[in-house]
Amino acid sequence: MRALVMTAVEAEREAVLRGLNGDSRFEVSLAGVGPIAAAINTATMLASANYDLVVSAGIGGGFVGQAEVGSLVVASEIIAADLGVQTQEGFMSLDELGFGSTRVQVSSALAARLTAAMLTAGLPVHSGPVLTVSTATGTAAAASELATRVPGAAAEAMEGYGVAAAANGRGIPVLEIRAISNAVGPRDREAWRIGDALKALEAASSVIVEVLE
């Protein structure tokens, strides 16, 4: 079994590689930031070699009350949360408009196995929908609106849906892992804990090998 892990930036890639500790069954490649770059770069990788699993991995924002800074989230579902139209009555998703789907299902068996492996390793892990946004949430009102619209939303990031759409297009199972660097809500760069999140991402990557066994 061979897996492709896509991270947005080099610091995330290096954290994943440290955790994987030279496991040759994994390739770790750069997605770029945002869903469009992520979809293009993942599709390019998938066209160049055969993979049995694709993983979107990186840091992300955690929804308050669902995933605290320093913890990990394994996606139960990957949702393009801002793909739709804003109306007088509120947001309407692509699904509601009848133009397609904003959701990609993860491999629930592999997600459950990964979550169990993280728990066994003593890592603080949550399971829940991970939202992909093109514009990071920066106000309490926007965070609250998203949490209401997607019950149980655990984390937010900017690449998962792009990576997942590319994998889905080839019928390859997909997972998303987010290490929480900040709370979803009012912009406060001073409060970001990127170093802690990268350490959590490295720890998560050291148990990800177990999903292939």
Ligand X SMILES: O=C(O)c1cccc(C(=O)CC[C@H]2O[C@@H](n3cnc4c(=O)[nH]cnc43)[C@H](O)[C@@H]2O)c1
Looking at the Cβ atoms of 31 and 117, the one nearer to ligand X is 31
Decide: is 182 part of the binding site for ligand X (CB under 6 A).
yes
Smallest distance from the beta carbon of 6 to ligand X, in angstroms? 11
Q: Which residues in the chain belong to E strands, given as ranges?
A: 3-7, 26-30, 53-62, 72-80, 84-87, 90-93, 103-105, 125-132, 155-157, 174-183
- Phi, psi dihedrals of residue 34, rounded to the nearest 5°: 100, 160
SS3 for 54-75, per residue?
Answer: EEEEEEEEECCCCCCCCCEEEE
Smallest distance from the beta carbon of 98 to ligand X, in angstroms? 28
Smallest distance from the beta carbon of 184 to ligand X, in angstroms? 5
Smallest distance from the beta carbon of 62 to ligand X, in angstroms? 8
Beta strand 72-80 pairing with 103-105: antiparallel
Contact (CB, 8 A) for 110 and 211: yes
Decide: is 33 part of the binding site for ligand X (CB under 6 A).
yes
Contact (CB, 8 A) for 19 and 13: no
Tell which one of 92, 121, 186, 187 touches ligand X (CB under 6 A). Answer: 187
Decide: is 128 part of the binding site for ligand X (CB under 6 A).
no
Decide: is 56 part of the binding site for ligand X (CB under 6 A).
no
Decide: is 60 part of the binding site for ligand X (CB under 6 A).
yes
Contact (CB, 8 A) for 104 and 172: no
User: Residue 198 has what DSSP assignment?
Assistant: H
Q: Tell me how far apart the alpha carbons of residues 173 and 53 are, in angstroms, rounded to a whole number.
A: 5
Smallest distance from the beta carbon of 18 to ligand X, in angstroms? 18
Closest-by-Cβ residue to ligand X is 61
Tell which one of 17, 64, 136, 212 touches ligand X (CB under 6 A). Answer: 136
Name the segment binding ligand X (CB under 6 A); options: 75-83, 102-110, 165-173, 183-191.
183-191
Binding site for ligand X (CB under 6 A): 8, 33, 58-61, 133, 136-137, 156-159, 181-182, 184, 187, 189
